[in-house]
Amino acid sequence: MSSVKQDFVKFDQVDKSYDGKVLVVKGLDLDIAEGEFLTLLGPSGSGKTTTLMMLAGFETPTNGEIYLDGDPISSIPPHKRGIGMVFQNYALFPHLSVYENLAFPLKVRKISNDIIDEKVNKTLEMVSLGDFGMRMPAQLSGGQQQRVAVARSLVFDPKLVLMDEPLGALDKNLRESMQYELKHIHESLGVTVVYVTHDQSEALTMSNRIAVFNDGHVQQLSGPNELYETPVNSFVAEFIGENNTITGTVKEISGNQAKVETDKGESVIANPIAVKSVGEKTKMSLRPERVMINPAAALENKFDASVAEIIYHGDHTRVRVNILDDDQFILKIPNSSDDIKLNVNDKIQLGWSSYDCRALDY
């Protein structure tokens, strides 16, 4: 068995401009390993969909080259790249049955009817639609249509499958169940998947690694855990998950601690991730679940706060407090049997470790 290719897909210094002036993708260097589930995540206009479209062949790089399994592909038309595609709007042929929709990419490849029959039936079983082959797309629910679209992208055994916001049109519960289904299909087949979404929880749930895009650049490329726990800049910290931001100026740096003076003159001890010198402005990132209420532990940061709002979320309670002259500071408290009882206007003390308070770029 051959070893996994670490640069199965490679973007080498790729730029993309639509008008010859503004670059929507800038100097992109990105390696994707064989069998990986990589998500391109970012806000609208960040360059993630353009990157996917260049890989699919629907857009051509302005500069640079894209390689698939070691071969340059920028001059190869989409239908000759051997890539499966799944779109948000399913893109099924409405006049063809489910079976015929799956058979279509195989017929185009001149595959014999008996092998087509075998592959279509096997792929329909894999997406739990074994009995739906004779139905028309209009007779299926949104979730079933999306399963058909996924099956069609896999039926010809592509080396690579690209998915562009494939679950965006589904309701919340169905979207979440489809996330797990896609994750399990990927794990069982080992096919390489490049997935585009602006939904952070979707990216965290499904991906081996996530490339966070903003302004045409990859801001961070990491596994879900690392991306959430150790964001490298303030954009990633604020884009991934809920985050408290405290701004200030660096007054001292010593080893793995920085003393930061907030805009109101309070001192916060932080982890100097992206600050190097005294006098720098910084945005400190602190996850809501890392804050302790009335802490008994010896923590570097302890401040008085008052409770402004309490919202019950089932498995946790979201508490908004006023602290350090900020009334948008958020806590998350698990709703366990020994949960903390709070009321609006309660005076409390909050504390957190300097390690969890990351001093990032301003």
Two tokens, residue 182: 């896609």
Give residue 297's pLDDT band: very low, low, confident or very high (50, 70, 90).
Answer: confident
Cβ atoms of 10 and 33 closer than 8 Å? no
pLDDT at 3: 61
Give residue 68's pLDDT band: very low, low, confident or very high (50, 70, 90).
Answer: very high
Cβ atoms of 34 and 5 closer than 8 Å? yes
Give the CA-trace dihedral at 105, 111, 115, 120, to 10 degrees. 10
Residues 40 and 56: their CA atoms lie apart, in Å, by 14
Tell me what the pLDDT averaged over the chain comes to: 92
Answer yes or no: is pLDDT of 150 > 70. yes
Answer yes or no: is pLDDT of 133 > 70. yes
Answer yes or no: is pLDDT of 1 > 50. no
Residues 229 and 221: their CA atoms lie apart, in Å, by 13
pLDDT at 115: 94
Residue with tokens 């002036």: 21
Residues 266 and 281: their CA atoms lie apart, in Å, by 14
Give residue 5's pLDDT band: very low, low, confident or very high (50, 70, 90).
Answer: confident
pLDDT at 173: 86
Residues 215 and 318: their CA atoms lie apart, in Å, by 31
pLDDT at 339: 64
pLDDT at 337: 57
Q: What's the whole-number mean pLDDT along residues 326-352?
A: 88
Answer yes or no: is pLDDT of 2 > 80. no
| pLDDT tens digit sequence for 249-288 | 999 999 899 999 998 899 999 999 999 999 999 999 999 9
- Give one word for 279, left, alpha or beta, with left for phi > 0 and alpha for psi -120 to 50: left
Q: Which of 11-20, 226-235, 290-299 has the lowest mean pLDDT?
A: 290-299
pLDDT at 340: 76
Residues 78 and 286: their CA atoms lie apart, in Å, by 44
Domains in the chain with CATH codes: 9-234 (3.40.50.300), 243-360 (2.40.50.140)
Give residue 99's pLDDT band: very low, low, confident or very high (50, 70, 90).
Answer: very high
Q: Supply the DSSP string of 28-76, one letter for each residue.
A: EEEEE-TT-EEEEE--TTSSHHHHHHHHHTSS--SEEEEEETTEE-TTS
Answer yes or no: is pLDDT of 56 > 90. yes
**353 CB-side CA count, 13 A:** 6
Give residue 235's pLDDT band: very low, low, confident or very high (50, 70, 90).
Answer: very high
Q: What's the whole-number mean pLDDT along residues 11-18?
A: 97
Q: What is the CA radius of gyration of the chain?
A: 24
Give residues with Cβ within 8 angstroms of 104, minimum separation 6: 93, 96, 152
Reading across the β-sheet that carries 326-334, which strands appear in turn?
Answer: 292-293, 347-352, 301-312, 316-323, 326-334
Residues 35 and 159: their CA atoms lie apart, in Å, by 9
pLDDT at 335: 85
pLDDT above 70 as % of the chain? 98
Residues 114 and 120: their CA atoms lie apart, in Å, by 10
pLDDT at 89: 80
